[in-house]
């Protein structure tokens, strides 16, 4: 009797699996295979778009480095003397400049940024430093205010400014700061986020471009990172941002006198800000919004790669992920809002409009994120499970390899980390793609603003504290309590998916993609378990 029941169960189970197999065969050929082939075509098209864009910028940057004149030669420019060395002239040769330092609960870095601004070599009577503090922690607010008072007692013209609410976030704070009566005499405004540390000669090198070239609205400096060697994650960020500054900003500045303002380490002509309509908080990239609007008004920008400002990279994955969400969602949302305005604009040339719409927005801000995730993390693994669909070798290997090599030119010291950078960027493309879609659809988190956490010297203090005796039981308990908090389930899910695809390819595949799939799945697992920021 028992044997009969067992046979019937096995037969029923076999029927169910057979039915599932039959249903799969029925829908695979007419539906799944054509759909996947379409995805491959779309992915290859986007890859070619990205490849041509990278190749174009690579050619232009080589030409710029060899044949183009430096900004000091292309524009009228003369280094302003150090005020300490030009006592006879006094401050008559110096325009009035406003320094804006927006802050939000910046316990670890507020002293550094305020101190750097106060040490700028500029006549004290021609400089106004405005600390725009939106902090919600009363203790931190008091600390920042005391620091401002300390510098004011030394003769520095520094103003501590607060608001009743955080409407508009950073854009709202900057806009409110420009409304103050004492700002009316200022011609230019330099903006520094709370972790940025300009060198004393920053203004003397940047301001002359605006003084002698009335068509210029913005001078943008390059970022340098004081904590790039902190962990592997910060090294990856440095590689991505160095390409942005070394190639993207340089190409935009040299060919079209346009690029996206980076939100900090730049000097604006206040008249240009007003002409463009001022700061707006309709997206989370108020800096890019202002830059595009100013460009459409006919204003030009200049990027100074030799003028560098120290700053800090996010050193925790949580902070980095929030930052990348804002940096990916905001541009996509801005593109949605401004694309027709750019098309209808009649103040700029056709080629500049094409550059802004296609190159600046469509390829760099949208296509680059989507193709990285959909092609290499979804479509390519699925073609392994469905062998009827092929991906040409030039699309899966050659083009990605060339794009990667071109991306590495910004940070030659990290060339040995290039392979892991690819894997890490593929993981981050998951969040960037999600954020881009949210921005294009203007969905729930389109206007989410989370201030990037800055740690300053607190990491060093923590490292020193490790050498001191501690309560082992308490430390273990605390570590266990954070395990679930550190888990990133979306990354873990994709790690499992890629691992299974790798196993299938190892057993039945013909292209040996399993090497890539296993390594990519390991990277997803590392990020999924929250250890990416701790790997040295």
3-class DSSP state of 310? strand
Selecting among 134, 242, 289, 505, the annotated active-site residue is: 134
Please list the residues that pair with 219 across neighbouring strands.
267, 302
Angle of helix 399-407 relative to helix 418-441, nearest 10 degrees?
A: 100
Report the chain's C-alpha Rg in angstroms: 27
CB 195 within 8 A of CB 109: yes
**Interior angle at CA 129, CA 127 and CA 135, nearest 5:** 175
Residue 134 a catalytic site member: yes
Quick one: tokens of 321? 């992920």
Distance from C-alpha of 157 to C-alpha of 199, rounded to nearest angstrom: 18
Selecting among 242, 287, 289, 505, the annotated active-site residue is: 287
Residue 275 a catalytic site member: no
Number of H helices and E strands in the chain, helices first, is 23, 7
CB 529 within 8 A of CB 482: no
Distance from C-alpha of 325 to C-alpha of 345, rounded to nearest angstrom: 29
Distance from C-alpha of 515 to C-alpha of 168, rounded to nearest angstrom: 47
Tell the residue number behind the tokens 């990205």, with chain if given. Answer: 50
CB 220 within 8 A of CB 303: yes
Distance from C-alpha of 253 to C-alpha of 255, rounded to nearest angstrom: 6
Please name which of 494, 534, 533, 536 lies closest in space to residue 517, comparing C-alpha atoms.
Answer: 494
Distance from C-alpha of 398 to C-alpha of 513, rounded to nearest angstrom: 14
Got the DSSP string for 65-99?
HHTSPPHHHHS---PPPPGGG-TTTTTTTS--EEE
Secondary structure of 411-451 in HEC code, one letter for each residue: CHHHHHHHHHHHHHHHHHHHHHHHHHHHHHHCCCCCCCCCC
Dihedral sign from CA coordinates of 269, 271, 272, 274:
positive
Among left, alpha and beta (phi > 0; psi -120 to 50; other), residue 168 is: left
3-class DSSP state of 244? helix
Q: Which residues are catalytic?
A: 134, 287
């Amino acid at each position: 009797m028992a044997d009969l029941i067992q046979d019937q169960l096995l037969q029923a189970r076999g029927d169910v699996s057979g039915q599932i197999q039959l249903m799969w065969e029925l829908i695979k050929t007419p539906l799944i295979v054509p759909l996947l082939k379409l995805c491959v075509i779309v992915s290859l098209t986007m890859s070619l778009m990205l490849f041509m864009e990278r190749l174009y910028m690579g050619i232009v940057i080589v030409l710029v480095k060899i044949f183009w004149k430096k900004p000091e030669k292309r524009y009228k420019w003369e280094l302003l003397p150090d005020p300490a060395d030009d006592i006879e002239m006094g401050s008559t040769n110096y325009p009035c400049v406003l320094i804006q330092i927006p802050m939000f609960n910046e316990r670890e870095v507020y002293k550094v940024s305020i101190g750097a601004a106060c040490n700028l070599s500029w006549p004290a009577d021609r400089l106004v430093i405005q600390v725009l503090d939106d902090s919600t922690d009363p203790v931190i607010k008091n600390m920042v205010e005391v620091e401002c008072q300390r510098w004011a007692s030394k003769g520095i013209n520094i103003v501590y400014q607060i608001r009743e609410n955080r409407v508009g976030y950073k854009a709202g704070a900057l806009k409110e700061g420009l409304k103050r009566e004492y700002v009316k005499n200022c011609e230019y405004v330099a903006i520094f986020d709370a972790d940025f540390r300009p060198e004393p000669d920053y203004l003397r090198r940047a301001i002359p471009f605006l003084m002698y070239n009335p068509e210029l609205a913005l001078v943008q400096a390059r970022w340098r990172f004081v904590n790039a060697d902190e962990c592997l994650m910060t090294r990856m960020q440095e590689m991505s941002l160095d390409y942005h500054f070394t190639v993207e900003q340089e190409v935009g500045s040299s060919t079209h006198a346009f690029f996206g303002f980076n939100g900090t380490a730049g000097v604006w002509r206040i008249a240009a800000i007003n002409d463009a309509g001022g700061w707006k908080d309709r997206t989370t990239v108020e800096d890019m919004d202002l830059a595009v609007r100013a460009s459409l008004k006919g204003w030009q920008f200049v990027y100074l790669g030799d003028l560098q400002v120290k700053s800090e990279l996010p050193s925790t994955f949580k902070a980095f992920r929030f930052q990348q969400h804002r940096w990916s969602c905001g541009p996509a949302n801005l593109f949605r809002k401004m694309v027709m305005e750019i098309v209808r604009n009649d103040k700029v040339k056709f080629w500049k409009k094409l550059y802004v719409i296609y190159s600046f927005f469509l390829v760099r801000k949208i296509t680059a994120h989507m193709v990285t995730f959909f092609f290499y993390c979804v479509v390519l693994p699925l073609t392994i499970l469905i062998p009827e669909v092929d991906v040409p070798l030039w699309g899966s290997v050659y083009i990605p390899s060339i794009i990667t090599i071109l991306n590495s030119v910004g940070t030659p010291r990290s060339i040995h980390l290039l392979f892991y950078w690819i894997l890490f960027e593929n993981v981050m493309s998951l969040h960037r793609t999600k954020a881009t879609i949210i921005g294009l659809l203007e969905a729930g988190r389109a206007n989410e603003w989370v201030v990037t956490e800055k740690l300053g010297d607190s990491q060093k203090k923590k490292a020193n504290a490790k050498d001191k005796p501690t309560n082992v039981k308490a430390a273990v308990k605390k570590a266990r309590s954070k395990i679930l908090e550190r888990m990133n389930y979306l990354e873990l899910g994709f790690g499992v998916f890629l691992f299974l695809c790798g196993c299938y390819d190892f057993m039945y595949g013909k292209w040996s993609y399993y090497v890539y799939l296993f390594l990519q799945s390991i990277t997803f697992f590392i990020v999924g378990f929250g250890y990416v920021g701790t790997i040295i």
